[in-house]
Structure 1
Amino acid sequence: MSDFYFGTDLFSELDRLQRHVSSAFGGGFPSSIRSSRAGAFPALNIGTTEDAIEIVAFAPGIDPSKLELSIDKGLLTIAGERPARPAEEGSRAYAQERFKGTFRRVVELPQQADPDNVRARYVDGLLVITVGKREASKPRAITVQ
């Protein structure tokens, strides 16, 4: 018999410990435009057109004047603060799933992104960021002679 006693299976305890350590260090770092940490805020949709890269951040309830956007060395950073929802008079929280506080999302842009051609607008809780593509990366027709 062992001198150690675990209330549950040892392997499930080690798995739980690994998840806690991973979440303490941010769950890893995104390696590309397509990867992100689970539960990251704001949630993003990223797509492309012939002329631009479209990034839509789902950020309801945020004052657009308090959002900070920057591009540096191919990384787009979205930062801001999501305020706490005011509690109703006489009510106490039973459960809270809505994130509140400061946030920062960093997205690696593809090489064809043009950091000098960026537009951002906030409409109905969506932050829409349009990053133009470099002219050299746009498709073009070549005539055969």
Structure 2
Amino acid sequence: MKSPLRETVRGNGLWSAQEQLGFAVSCMLHNRHYSLYPVLTIQQWTEYAIQHQQIKFLFDARGLPLAYITWAYPGPDTEKRLLSDPEFRLHPSEWNEDGRIWILDFCCFPGYGREALRRFIELRPWGEGNVHWLSRNKRVMTFSR
């Protein structure tokens, strides 16, 4: 069965940085885990992902953004800081250090989490290889395909 979540809106899959920031904010405002964060925080989480083209959006049939995911390829030293310091944010130069694939952020409208994750895993916008992320209880999780 084809997922109703789409990568494009009316055939368009390329957007300006401002449009992408707007899509991310739209997703965040509908998610209770994000909606109370200050706007500056939102920019910190998405700006470099957008600049490095390491953010992927999914839309519904009407073209409304429903989910996004960001990823990076930090080197070993950066990865160590990422895991040990909860306040650490990647510097622009640390997003593509040819390291392991790390999911940095995932946000979606309530009720779309499983479907969005399934679709992102199918699309693999980050490329091939094992994918890592930090769980809510601070455990390193990995999946491969």
TM range (shorter): under 0.3
Higher alpha-carbon Rg:
1
Question: TM (normalized to structure 2)?
Answer: 0.28
Which structure dedicates a bigger proportion of its chain to helix? 2
Which structure dedicates a bigger proportion of its chain to strand? 1
